[in-house]
Structure 1
């Protein structure tokens, strides 16, 4: 490793001073008792001894320490420690110890992070495989059944083709949602920021989901009568997707004849917070921290009766974060859940 060497003179300076003091006093006593002691002799002896001691100690100790310190730096360079190779090599033990300690802490954090990422990667690949193979095997099963002779039966043919079509639609949802999350993560999905009325947007989402809510007699409502528009600045299409995903989620896991309520409140001077609250089954606290992970499901039974890609909440989180806003979740098991997110208020 070709590195600049930063010298440290503190050790040689102090050590030389102590040695010189001791030898000068010893020599002065010797000359005083056995020879004539002239006043300038201790001074000259002190200076010459100090210079000699300093040069010798600095040279020998520097070479001794430098070889070992350089070996440490070389070993750390093999580990690509950028923080240690930017500056000059130092023989100052205190500084070196601090750098090594910092390096060790950083590496420990990095290793722990890699372990977490590796665990997440394995879970993610397993989830992707499961989510894709479920509808794929369903489609394959219906098609093979038709090819084995069921095609001749008109009623079975139509029923199996419809079910196969639903399986293909599910595959399409998963691939489309995965593509969107990837674009959001790499910043490749541009946002069309505009000013719009969030109250009107919620009403439109209610209209689109009215039939779905009526199947379970769930009421879609505001917390109050909003007579004036509440203008916000965001990507209208993406925020509509956020509202759709959150409200659909509340309908899936809501209580029959229950309620899904949306409220819009002023948070601070230039922010509003939109809350989607239901009185459904709720979520246990152990699941809340992982709720926005891709394919993470509270129900570990593997049931897919509710449909969807399993990516809805992850997409919601990425869209809100792409707006530099925050999303929150509060839930009490058996009581209900509340998802909320902030938006910038239009001036």
Structure 2
């Protein structure tokens, strides 16, 4: 069915030539009053006009269109595709070309926005990395300078300052180890050693391993009532332990005095186990929730608290869970608490 929207170059040439031939032939008829010259002039103008206009379209307009397509696709097309768009361009209408150009412009705009977002992320990452390194380095420098200026001879302070310097060296070591680990995770070099184990047993071991840290703030760690029934998962036990330790330590760091940390486990669909760690601490403002799994990202409230750590814990957790082919999520409300959950596969038969 003929449509002006999808008109071809040949149809456009014919209609244009017809538009020229008809009035000229009418003028000839008015002058000559005979049909023979009218018919001859009509056919000559129609045929000549068609050939001329079609030639102009082919040689000029579509050559420009081919250049447009080559420009659009040259940065990402294969050699075969470039040849196609340069020499064998399908006969598209101007509307089709406009739609293709608009689609390319939209895609290009999205790529530019992504590059800007990545650039902003890079700047924030370098700024946060600098901050994380400066704190222990400046502390070590201060302790060493004090010792060199005479405190080394004072037995009452030399050991104390050396212990504090050693603590900051350990913090730097942990930071470098975490950076190395997250780099390997992002390169996909994590090798999982999966086995079947009871997730409740691993949670209890995690609580026991950091019990001293919890006791300092009198925080009680427990498994939610109704979730005690053993659930077997199939995963890398040590990596899942690392995730649980990170989550529980965060709950302690940002938890309140005399607070609680509760772990819960649910068999969601017969194929996956949902594990959640919930606290009743300071919570996370909603605007920060989409970014808490970024490297070094901390909320303003989190930075204002005197807590240690590399700032990479949650990012590492995310990579470990995703390496298992699973997901991790967060729910939080300010002054109410935070719940972070992740899924694992059930026991393999």
* TM-score (norm. length: structure 1): 0.86
Distance, in Å, in 2 between the alignment partners of 1:329 and 1:65 is 56
Q: Which stretch shows the higher mean deviation, 100-109 or 8-17?
A: 8-17
* More off after superposition, 260-269 vs 22-31: 22-31
Give the deviation of 1:155 after TM superposition. Answer: 2.6
Q: How does 1:1-347 map to 2 (within 5 A)?
A: 10-17=8-15, 19-20=17-18, 23=21, 27=25, 30=29, 34-35=33-34, 51-73=47-69, 75-76=71-72, 80=75, 82=77, 85=82, 87-89=84-86, 90=89, 92=92, 93-224=94-225, 228-299=229-300, 302-303=303-304, 305-347=306-348
Unaligned runs of 5+ in 2: 1-5
What is the rounded CA distance, in whole Å, between the counterparts of 1:186 and 1:145 in structure 2?
42
In structure 2, how many angstroms separate the alpha carbons of the residues matched to 1:290 and 1:86?
44
1:142-199 residue CA offsets vs partner (Å, 9 max, x unmatched): 1121122111122311101100010001001111111111111110122222222111
Runs (5+) with no aligned partner, structure 1: 1-7
Secondary structure in structure 2 of the residue aligned to 1:88: helix
CA RMSD of the aligned region, Å? 3.0
What do residues 213-252 of structure 1 show as CA deviations (whole Å, max 9, x unaligned)? 1111111101126554311111111110010000011111
Structure 1 CA distance, aligned partners of 2:269 and 2:41?
77
| Residue 3 of structure 1: aligned partner | none
Q: Quote the Cα distance in structure 2 between the aligned partners of 1:276 and 1:36.
A: 95
What SS does the aligned partner of 1:295 have? coil
Contact 1:327–1:340, Cα closer than 8 Å, also in 2? yes
Preserved CA contact (<8 Å) 2:70 2:82:
no
Query: In the alignment, is the contact (CA less than 8 A) between 2:25 and 2:42 conserved in 1?
Result: no
Relative to structure 1, the CA distance from residue 48 to residue 233 in structure 2 (aligned partners, 3 Å threshold; closer, same or farther) is farther
Q: Contact between 1:24 and 1:45, CA under 8 Å: does it hold in 2?
A: no
Shift in alpha-carbon separation, 1:287–1:86, aligned structure 2, 3 A: farther
Q: Deviations over 1:81-135 (max 9, x none)?
A: 5498474244632232122111110111111111111111111101101110110
Q: Distance in 1 between matches of 2:291 and 2:257?
A: 26
Q: In the comparison of the two structures, how many residue pairs are matched?
A: 336
